[in-house]
Amino acid sequence: GYLVQLPLPSSLKTSEILGAINPNKDVDGLTPENLGLLAMGNPRVIPCTARAILFLLNQYRIEIAGKKILIIGRGLTVGRPLSILLSSKGNDAIVTLAHSATNNLPDLIAQSEIVISAIGKPNFIKSAWIKSAATVIDVGITSTNQGLTGDCDSEVVNKSKFYAPVPGGVGPLTRAMLLQNLLDLHDQK
């Protein structure tokens, strides 16, 4: 299987690189064909990070149907595929897809029962913005002088009902889902 480590240097076109991969060997599910199948509701493979987040929500029995879920970050690896999956039939979440420059972001966060952040801006999400007893999944990861840091400030853990931090939250599950996707693609031969 193949995996393109994103983001690519600006000198390379992500769409061209992903488009050159055989969709049957795309373990991250990000080729144009595989994303199209995902959008159509018939995925060949689910993108690894999105799959890891779904696994986490399921494992901890966090209800998503009918819940207001805010995804902050509209990137190819998390935001876009996850918004499709969470709003799809069977999951039935009420999904809002935002970005770090969204005007009323603190208000959107305060109204959300589940917040998933994938913007890669250290400590950008403030605990004061989080609705009491919300579920918060931090996926944004940045290397700083203090080590790996997520999008959420350190007090989010005290305000949320469930918190998946960076590091140690979704990352290890993403690697496990990568291996599961490899096995799934092999079984589809």
pLDDT tens profile 124-153: 999 999 999 999 999 999 998 989 999 999
State pLDDT tens for residues 45-101.
Answer: 999 999 999 999 999 999 999 999 999 999 999 999 999 999 998 889 999 999 999
> What is the bridge-based pairing of β-strands 94-98 and 68-72?
parallel
State residue 123 phi and psi, 5-degree precision.
55, 25
DSSP class per residue in 20-83: TS-GGGBTT--SHHHHHHHHTT--SS--HHHHHHHHHHHHTT---TT-EEEEE---TTTHHHHH
Name 153's Cβ contacts closer than 8 Å, sequence gap at least 6.
123, 125, 126, 127
Q: What pLDDT score does 122 carry? A: 96
Domains of the chain: 14-45+173-187 (no CATH), 48-170 (3.40.50.720)
Q: What pLDDT score does 82 carry? A: 98
